[in-house]
Amino acid sequence: MNLEFTDVSYGVDDTEILTDISLALESGEIVTIIGPSGAGKTTLLRLAALFEQPTDGTIRCDGTDPWGLSRDDRLAIRRRIGMVFQQASLFDAPVARNVDIGRRVRRPWPQRIRGFLERLLPRRLDDSPAVDERTLEALELVGLRDAWDRDPASLSGGEAQRVSFARALAADPDLLVLDEPTSDLDPRNTAILERAIERAREHDHGVLLATHDMHQAERISDRVAFLLEGELVEVGPSDRVFENPRDERTARFVRGDLLYDDNELFA
Amino acid sequence: MALEFIAEPTYLRSIIRVSLTVSLTAIVLSTLVSLPIAFVVGFAEFPGKRLLTAIINTGMGFPSVAVGLLVLLFISNDGPLGTLELVYTPEAMIISQCILAAPVITGVALSAVESVDDAVRDAAYGVGGTRTDVALITLKEARYGVITGILAGFGRAISEVGSVLIVGGNIAYADGTSKTRTITTAITFETRRGEFETALALGAVLIVLVLLVNGIVLRLGGR
């Protein structure tokens, strides 16, 4: 899915969180948003995943403004987008049911009600396997194929986050929106998720990622966007932004050289 | 006396039947009203939400005698529902138990719904869920709290004495079987008659019934 922000602003009450954001992302591309805490990264991602409607400007998904569509038509677009959050937020159900939730909510209601009734009975009415192959494939992408019947409470933080990534992948989205998915993970779990992100790109998924990890941003991004106090300071190819940033504030941020002067960031 | 009571299964069965019919009907009806309210209040932001929550929480402590009196005023011949002739009927007891149980179920279920992390709701929305899906997933996450609320409401309803005495009248037919006599009002009646052993035996039956219903509901809820 091609995603395009044109002069997008977003605010709550009288507080403007994002101002005039223009950014594009194409299928098979990883665009990473970097910026200090409170810069508006999560808000930008929530707008991209159609959680919120811009207060100004336009977001287009494959050329269509989803906020100009009916709720059902917008839902169809939203269902092409998968979002992973900083916290795994798994549901109180076995791993497999967490992973296939995206496909279950897409089923027609009669089928869903039948599935619910079947689960109430001690034994299933049919002989279908307890977990389907698509769920296992998604779990395999994050190295957890054998964990399909585990309780989320028994998972480590890293495993839970990998399951939440599999949950987003299992619905086969065209666009993945990832909000600091590796911020609490150890290097091994981070590496597994980064590999899964790159596999998603290979399958022509677009990926919009927010991270505080500059090495990660440099490692896996095609393009990097630096967000500061709700404004996009600089967008460009990853190599160029990190090696030769055009804006002084970007240069200082990627160097980890945050400066405060008279309480003004980057004064 | 207790042995006599056990030897009168018809008497016992009729009291248990009236108690369970009235309380279970009241719980089903109040659950149908309470859960949507808990969900709307739990999900939506609107002016007066805190006041409404405070009213619900206050309702959890409604004095049952006062509720019985108010219901009686409504259903008495001169009351707005007088034409329905509900005084001293099981239906009147159902109404008063509904009023007593509904705030309990609403309050506990609301607390359970509000305790579900916003991140879980976001996750449900983020996998392509509609608002209905998000509500259902939230309900599932809050299910133990919701079940606890229903059980607390049932506990309040079946152990209720004051209001059912006022609107039900603790009436038995000439053959001794119950019309509006419940286990709790029968205990009161037997105690006043000095039949303490019968009252104790009925108390034991009440406790067993509550335990049984709790066990069945918790089992169905997967706990």
Nearest Cα to A30, choosing from A197, A164, A236, A212? A197
The nearest alpha carbon in chain A to B125 belongs to: A51
Mean pLDDT of A183-197: 91
Helix (H) or strand (E) holding A187: helix A187-202
Could you tell me if A216 and A194 are in contact, meaning their C-beta atoms sit under 8 angstroms apart? yes
Nearest Cα to B162, choosing from B78, B59, B93? B93
pLDDT of residue A126: 53
Which amino acid, B149? G
pLDDT of residue A262: 46
Beta bridge partners of A60: A4
Mean pLDDT of B6-27: 88
Nearest Cα to B147, choosing from B97, B101, B108, B99? B108
User: Which residue is it, tokens 């039949």?
Assistant: B195
**DSSP conformational letter for A107:** S
Within a domain: B198: no
Within a domain: B130: yes
Q: What is the pTM of this model?
A: 0.80
Looking at chain A, the whole-number percentage of residues with pLDDT higher than 90 is 82
Lowest mean pLDDT across A148-152, B28-32, B44-48, B218-222: B218-222
Nearest Cα to B124, choosing from A156, A54, A90? A90
Domains (range + CATH), chain A: 3-251 (3.40.50.300)
Could you tell me if A59 and A47 are in contact, meaning their C-beta atoms sit under 8 angstroms apart? yes
pLDDT of residue A118: 82
pLDDT of residue B221: 67
Within a domain: B212: no
* Contact map slice: B 65-94 vs A, CB within 8 A: none
CATH code of residue B167:
1.10.3720.10
User: Which residue is it, tokens 């949950």?
Assistant: A167
Mean pLDDT of A86-107: 93
User: What's the gap between Cα A38 and its chain centre?
Assistant: 18
Angle (CA) A24-A79-A74 rounded to 5° is 75
Contact B119 A167 (CB under 8 A): no
Task: Evaluate if residue A259 carries a pLDDT over 60.
Answer: no
Within a domain: B154: yes
Could you tell me if A100 and A170 are in contact, meaning their C-beta atoms sit under 8 angstroms apart? yes
Within a domain: B222: no
Within a domain: B109: yes
On the CB side of B63, CA atoms within 13 Å amount to 5
pLDDT of residue A159: 94
Pairs of CB atoms within 8 A across A/B: 52
Cβ of residue B127 closer than 8 Å to a chain A Cβ:
yes
A255: region left, alpha or beta (phi > 0 left; psi from -120 to 50 alpha)? alpha
Looking at chain A, the whole-number percentage of residues with pLDDT higher than 70 is 93
Mind giving me the DSSP string for A205-252? -EEEEE-S-HHHHHHH-SEEEEEETTEEEEEEEHHHHHHS-SSHHHHH
Contact A49 B128 (CB under 8 A): no
Split at pLDDT 50, 70, 90, the class of B50 is very high
Q: What is the ipTM of this complex?
A: 0.87
3-class secondary structure, A83: strand
Q: How far is CA A52 from CA A43, A66, A171, in A?
A: 8, 11, 21
- Token pair recorded at residue A32: 């990473």
Q: Supply the range of the domain harboring residue B34.
A: 17-172
Mean pLDDT of A183-207: 92
User: Which residue is it, tokens 């990622």?
Assistant: A209
Among A250-264, B17-31, B54-68, top mean pLDDT goes to B17-31
Mean pLDDT of A102-128: 79
Task: Evaluate if residue A267 carries a pLDDT over 50.
Answer: no
CB < 8 Å to A51, chain B: 122, 125-126
Within a domain: B218: no
pLDDT, tens digit, 9 for 90 and up, residues A160-187: 999 999 999 999 999 999 999 998 889 9
The nearest alpha carbon in chain B to A172 belongs to: B127
* CA–CA gap between residue A249 and residue A253 (Å, rounded): 6
Residues of A with CB under 8 A from a CB of B: 49, 51, 75, 78-79, 82-85, 87, 89-93, 101-102, 105-106, 164, 167-168, 171
Antiparallel, parallel or unpaired: β A175-179 and A260-261? unpaired
Domain count, chain B: 1
Task: Evaluate if residue B2 carries a pLDDT over 70.
Answer: no
pLDDT, tens digit, 9 for 90 and up, residues B157-208: 999 999 999 999 999 998 888 999 999 999 999 999 999 988 999 999 999 9
Within a domain: B23: yes
Could you tell me if A247 and A234 are in contact, meaning their C-beta atoms sit under 8 angstroms apart? yes
